[in-house]
Amino acid sequence: MVNEQGERMASNDRTEQPVTFDRHPSTYRHWRLTIDAPVARLTMEVDPDGGLNEGYQLKLNSYDLGVDIELNDAVQRLRFEHPEVRAVIVTGGLDKMFCAGANIQMLAGASHHHKVNFCKFTNETRNSIEDASASSQQVWLAAVNGTAAGGGYELALACDDILLVDDRSSAVSLPEVPLLGVLPGTGGLTRVVDKRHVRRDLADVFATRTEGVRGAQAVEWGLVDAVAPRTKFDEEATSRALARAEASDRPADAPGIELTPLDRTVDGGVIRYPNLEVRLERDLGTAWFTLSGPSGAVEATPEAIVAAGASFWPLALAREFDDAMLHLRFNEPEIGTWVLQTKGDPSAVLAADDVLREHAGHWLVREITLFWRRTLKRLDLSARSIVTLVTPGSCFAGTLAELALAADRSYMLDGIFEDADDGLPPAELVLTDANCPSGEGPPSPGGWYPMSNGLTRLQSRFYGHDEALDATRSVLGKHLQAGEVSSLGLVTFTPDDIDWEDEIRLCLEERASFSPDALTGMEANYRFVGPETLETKIFSRLTAWQNWIFQRPNASGPDGALRRYGSGSRPSYDRKRV
């Protein structure tokens, strides 16, 4: 296969199977989860023959997407099902091997979109580990019992504390640049300098030294927090975990909830859940999401919420929306535009938010709000054009109003559809403190759902326009119709019934006509305004570079580093810097 410049590119060696994200600890092939409250131990022991696709073996605790899907499941279950767990130790189950990182044969033969989505999902999983430590007070610690290379060390970097075995052979390393011609794909470069504050020249040495750094030098450089001899390694890891657990506010005796299997059906181009329907329009490259508000009163006390468990509407909808986005990312890469719609009573959505607000200090309510925050971030990071339609019968209020604020383009009908006989009143948009703090003074981070840049979607929308943000703060809680929404700048356009159909059609047809690569770059630049954070560096800067590098012959060509790795032959590089 040859690209436009005449450069030979790698073809996909194997057929990639449709990806699903349903997992349960009883079916894990690569992880063992044991709990001795307040500490849980998650042990990585990858089944070499358990790859998600054929054509490679997962040797030396190397991983592919399937391994990380199980890890993501474990992270979620520990947060929701085990409130008694205050600290989590992640370690390796092989002798003298923590994790060898992403499987190179898998990467060499994977399609470009699979490689990029794999790295993105793995990044999001690492971020959810950091969020558990920072926000859920369920602190993660890495007990690096042997070599941790590449993505293996990046897994350790996501933890709050890294203990390395001191046995004169085990090392941590990021060997991607010298060995593979690519970058550490899950935030390693950023976390080394931004999170662990490793001096940049030492970080340069570290990322170009294939053998890595071990023992006392790893502590001195700041790559790990401590080392322990093998004879005292488990004891030291447990001691450090118990010390962290002491500071957690997670309840020791509260019941958790079971994350039951999702009720999902796929019928041709329609994916249905109890609270969400996704309809695919393949000719237009568009997915139409319809999220439903509560069908009745939601549970109003912590006891009732725990009893409802995974069926509690805010949690149920978040899980369904998250699953649908992941399905489309991996299995429908040509669906480039996501149209977001809602249906239901705005007051019912606000009532559900009232419950989350009133009981914000309860561990489960906190987890549900945090899960919505992660789900909305996944929307921001999904490399799809987002269009939101606010029409009569919509329920864009509070938490669901974030969908309108996340959009690249948003349309709100001015008035009603004249030929409709449903009797629905004009569309409304309701913003609350879930979307932005109502305090006085200059903009500051806050709200329930900050983006990767640390700002709310409202603050990002009005970045540099403090008066517009203050005007929006003054109408929090008000049911706004199209005229006021337009004057406040909260949607892009407010066409009436006469122009509505043509406006939406032209928008979607235009989007489908543009280069998807250019759109992805444009949207990512516009969405994350303002301050650069560790997350925006990983997902905007690092992911953009890795996306490009994965397509270059130096990495993925027939003589590139990914293809030559393990063959005994050195890669052949085009030496031009571009």
Report pLDDT for 423. Answer: 85
Report pLDDT for 552. Answer: 86
387 within 8 A of 407, measured Cβ to Cβ: yes
Fold for 25-246, please state it: 2-enoyl-CoA Hydratase; Chain A, domain 1 (3.90.226)
Domain 25-246 and domain 265-431+489-527, same fold? Reply is: yes
User: Nearest to residue 167, comparing CAs of 192, 184, 141, 148?
Assistant: 148
Global pTM reads 0.94
Q: At what angle do helices 363-380 and 112-135 cross, to 10 degrees?
A: 150
CA distances (Å), origin 344, targets 263, 428, 484, 528:
20, 11, 21, 30
Residue spans per domain, the chain: 25-246, 265-431+489-527
Q: What is the Cα–Cα distance from 536 to 351, expressed in whole angstroms?
A: 33
66 within 8 A of 51, measured Cβ to Cβ: yes
Report pLDDT for 421. Answer: 82
CATH 3.40.630.30 is held by the domain 265-431+489-527: no
What the block records as the tokens of 330 is 């991996």
Q: What is the Cα–Cα distance from 91 to 93, expressed in whole angstroms?
A: 7
DSSP letter for each residue of 30-90: SEEEEEETTEEEEEE---TT--SSSS---GGGEE-HHHHHHHHHHHHHHHHH-TT--EEEE
Report pLDDT for 442. Answer: 39
170 within 8 A of 164, measured Cβ to Cβ: yes
Strand partners, 91: 43, 143
Termini Cα distance of the chain = 22
User: In sequence order, which residues have a C-beta less than 8 Å from that of residue 290 and are 6 or more positions away?
Assistant: 276, 277, 278, 279, 341, 342, 343
Beta strand residue intervals within 276-336, DSSP E: 276-281, 286-292
DSSP letter for each residue of 109-126: HS-HHHHHHHHHHHHHHH
Local confidence pLDDT in tens for the 578 residues of the chain: 333 333 333 344 456 788 999 999 999 999 999 999 999 999 999 999 999 999 999 999 999 999 999 999 999 999 999 999 999 999 999 999 999 999 999 988 899 889 889 999 999 999 999 999 999 999 999 999 999 999 999 999 999 999 999 999 999 999 999 998 988 888 899 999 999 999 999 999 999 999 999 999 999 999 999 999 999 999 999 999 999 999 999 999 999 999 999 999 999 899 999 999 999 999 999 999 999 999 999 999 999 999 999 999 999 999 999 999 999 999 999 999 999 999 999 999 999 999 999 999 999 999 999 999 999 999 999 999 999 999 999 999 999 999 999 999 999 999 999 888 888 999 999 999 999 875 544 334 468 999 999 999 999 999 999 999 999 999 999 999 999 999 999 999 999 999 999 999 999 999 999 999 899 989 988 999 999 999 999 887 777 788 788 888 888 888 988 888 888 888 998 888 87
User: Nearest to residue 275, comparing CAs of 288, 289, 286, 287?
Assistant: 289
CA angle 200, 202, 207 (to 5 degrees): 90
Report pLDDT for 568. Answer: 85
CB-based burial label for 538 (10 Å; 0-12, 13-18, 19+): buried
* Sign for the pseudo-dihedral over CA of 328, 317, 264, 427: negative
Length of the chain: 578
Report pLDDT for 445. Answer: 46
